[in-house]
Amino acid sequence: MAMLLFTLLLAPSIALAHDGMTLRDHAALRRVERLKVISNFGKRTQTIRLGNNVRTRRMSARRMQKSTAGKVIAVVDGSVLEVRLYDGRTISVRTLGAEAPLLLTGTKKEQCFALEAKQKLKILLLGKRVELERDRKYQKDNYGRWLRYVRLKSLDVGGWMIGNGNAFADSRNGHRKQSNYTIREAEAKDYERGLWGHICEYNRDLDTIDVLE
């Protein structure tokens, strides 16, 4: 009996005759295969191997998100940034779904709270590393600026600007975060934050958000 138990304890390390691998090796290999995910860049499916079975399924929305990292080197207004990408390019980025009041210094077209919105965004982002996340519906606006959700670590910058009364939620151009941004704007209005306070007299029916292409 003692000899039998000793033999069983050594069994995982006994080499299999057909391929030279031990039972322990095979167990480790099966664990790796179960966890292995083969994703194809640019495709909406992923191939998953579970033992001898191979399955293909649609990728989740999180995996489909495409983002680019860069450093904010200038803040033009409450919606537009200059970002230096890590490949050396410098691009203009407009926050998708969040539109700050129009800033045209010295003209009658400058809107209430435009300077304040720019300053808030400048304090938050200037010199910081951000992630530029693309919505599949949009690439650039009519001025050639990238349309992106901007993220500072875990902070959604567009949602933060709207929720604190520094920007309007874009209600005309449908996008993935539209419902969330609309809720944040309603809360900012209820609490009269920023541009919804007594400083400005905004009529939401008269906003100046451009329709995107």
Please write the tens of the pLDDT for every residue from 17-36: 445 666 766 566 566 555 54
CATH topology of domain 66-206: OB fold (Dihydrolipoamide Acetyltransferase, E2P) (2.40.50)
Instruction: Give the integer Cα–Cα distance in Å for 197 and 190.
Output: 10
Mean pLDDT, the chain, whole residue set: 78
pLDDT at position 207 over 90: no
Q: Is the per-residue pLDDT at 73 higher than 50? A: yes
Q: Give 169 or 59, the one with higher predicted confidence.
A: 169
Task: List Cβ neighbours of 51 (8 Å cut-off, separation of 6 or more).
Answer: 30, 33, 34
Q: What pTM did the predictor assign?
A: 0.65
pLDDT (tens digit per residue) in 139-188: 999 999 999 999 999 999 999 999 999 999 999 999 999 999 999 999 99
Where are the domains positioned within the chain?
Answer: 19-64, 66-206
pLDDT at 190 over 80: yes
pLDDT band, very low/low/confident/very high, at 88 (cuts 50, 70, 90): very high
pLDDT at 104: 79
Q: Rounded to whole angstroms, how far apart are CA atoms 151 and 153?
A: 6
Please report which confidence band the pLDDT of residue 54 belongs to, taking 50, 70 and 90 as the band edges: very low
pLDDT of residue 106: 58
pLDDT (0 to 100) of residue 110: 83
pLDDT in tens, 110-141: 899 999 999 999 999 999 999 999 999 999 99
